[in-house]
Structures are given as C-alpha cells and as structure tokens.
Amino acid sequence: MNFDKEFDASGMSCPLPILKTKKALADMASGQVLKLISTDSGSVKDMQAFAEQTGNSLLSTDEANGKYTFYMKKK
C-alpha cells in the first residue's frame, strides 16, 4: 500500500504508539496515509479506538512475526 509517512513504534508500550501516531499525523495533509509499525499487541484495539474517536480512517491492520502494521488515512 502506498503511504506518505512511516513511523516505527517498535518496542514502545501503551500509550506511546497512539501518542506518536497523533504526533505523526499532525503535520500531514488531509488524505495522506501514515504507515505505523508497533510491537505492542494492545495497539490493535487502541488504533481502532483512536480512528473511531478522531475520525481518521484505519485502512488496514496486519500482523506478522509479532509486528503490527497499520495504515491510517488522515481525516
């Protein structure tokens, strides 16, 4: 999937992946896509909740070898 920015939050625990996502999205334009990588299993549900609450769209969530990859489109 195409993306405009990438942030690797590997090794970070709750709530850092969410806070870093928020920061990463801050200087992006509407419609741009952020790729976020996390190793925190809690971030799967947290990213869903973040998307629901903030109105940004979570395009996909994938897991491979303990790494979670999220694509989020900025509102």
Partner 1 sequence: MSSKKMAIIATKGTLDMAYPPFILASTAAALGFEVQVFFTFYGLQLLRKDLSTVMISPLANPAMPMPVPMPVMVQMLPGMESMATMMMKQKLKKHGVASLQELRDLCLEAEVKFIACQMTVDLFEFDKSEFIDNIEYGGAAMFLGFAGDTDICLFV
CB 54, min distance to partner 1, A: 6
Neighbours of 18 (CB within 10 A): 21
Residues 6+ apart with CB under 8 A from 42: 13, 14
Radius of gyration of the chain (CA): 11
Which residues contact partner 1 (rule: CB under 8 A)? Answer: 11-16, 18-19, 21-22, 39-40, 49-50, 53-54
Catalytic residue, chosen from 13, 14, 22, 45, is: 14
CB 64, min distance to partner 1, A: 19
70 counts as catalytic: no
